[in-house]
């Protein structure tokens, strides 16, 4: 951890902690640049780190996120969440297909900017 005695242009304040699960590092960022979209920043960080990142999507479905992949791709996914004493664990990443049972749990998968994408394993709902 580090602290700054004076504000720095372009500085980002982050809280970082570790949990178990498929995404074991949680980062909450504050004071991020307002002129860049959150998804754009997440995509760039994912490419730079060579790691997948989850960020909240634009629905109220609690299991749905946008996955930023190391190649710069952004896509809608679902994860199972387990609350623990150390924080929320996220496991069982799968694409949002519109037919996933998690799509029925919360509103908005079909109304999101990040549309469900059918796969051969999970075709779109009829």
Sign of CA dihedral 50, 68, 27, 24: negative
What pLDDT is attached to residue 118?
Answer: 76
What H or E segment, with its residue span, contains residue 29? strand 25-30
Q: Give domain limits for the chain.
A: 13-111
Q: What is the signed CA dihedral for 56, 58, 64, 65, rounded to 10 degrees?
A: -40
For the whole model, what pTM was predicted?
0.79
The one-digit pLDDT tens for each residue of the chain (126 residues) are: 555 565 667 677 778 878 899 988 887 777 667 777 888 888 888 899 899 999 989 888 889 999 999 999 999 999 999 999 988 899 999 999 888 888 877 667 888 898 888 766 655 554
Q: How far apart are CA 107 and CA 126, in angstroms?
A: 18
């Amino acid at each position: 951890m580090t602290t700054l005695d004076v504000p720095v242009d372009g500085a980002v304040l982050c809280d970082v902690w570790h949990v178990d699960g498929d995404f074991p590092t949680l980062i909450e960022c504050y004071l991020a640049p307002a002129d860049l979209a959150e998804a754009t920043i997440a995509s760039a960080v994912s490419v730079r780190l060579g790691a997948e990142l989850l960020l909240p999507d634009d629905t109220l479905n609690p299991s749905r996120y946008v996955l930023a992949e190391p190649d710069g791709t952004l896509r809608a996914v679902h994860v199972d969440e387990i609350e623990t004493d150390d924080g929320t664990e996220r496991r069982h990443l799968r694409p949002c297909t519109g037919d996933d049972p998690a799509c029925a749990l919360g509103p908005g998968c079909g109304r999101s900017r990040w549309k469900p994408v059918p796969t051969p394993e999970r075709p779109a709902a009829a």
